[in-house]
């Protein structure tokens, strides 16, 4: 199974740059095991839980233990880009 992980801010260094004008977004496609969750993906990319402020899976604000499936798109935002999403979205598990 394969998913795309989009990395923002300082996390972008863990992926390839996909935005030629600003260089602010990195992305990487990775192979995952069946029944993987977001925590597993972060482990593969060597991203610690305390480095991430917001997680979106398929454009839904997500819990770190949420399962991922083939073809999903995961977006990770670093702590230094902390936004007010938690006030407007409920985490999906």
Q: Does some domain include residue 93?
A: no
Give the tens place of pLDDT for each residue, 54-74.
999 999 989 999 999 999 999
Name the residue with higher pLDDT: 20 or 2: 2
Domain that residue 14 falls in: 2-88
For residue 8, the SS3 value is strand
Q: Does some domain include residue 72?
A: yes
| Phi-psi label, residue 50: left if phi above 0, alpha if psi -120 to 50, beta otherwise | alpha
CATH code at position 9: 3.10.20.30
Number of structural domains found in the chain:
1
Cβ atoms of residues 82 and 53 within 8 Å: yes
The answer to pTM > 0.85 is: no
Q: Does some domain include residue 63?
A: yes
């Amino acid at each position: 199974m394969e998913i795309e992980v989009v990395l923002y801010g300082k996390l972008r260094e863990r992926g390839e740059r996909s935005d030629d004008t600003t260089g602010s977004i990195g992305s990487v496609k990775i192979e995952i095991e069946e029944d993987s969750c977001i925590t597993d993906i972060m482990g593969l990319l060597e991203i610690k839980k305390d480095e991430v402020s917001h997680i979106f899976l398929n454009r839904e604000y997500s819990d770190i233990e949420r399962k991922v499936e083939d073809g999903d798109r995961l977006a990770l935002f670093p702590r230094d880009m902390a936004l007010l999403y938690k006030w407007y979205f409920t985490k999906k598990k």
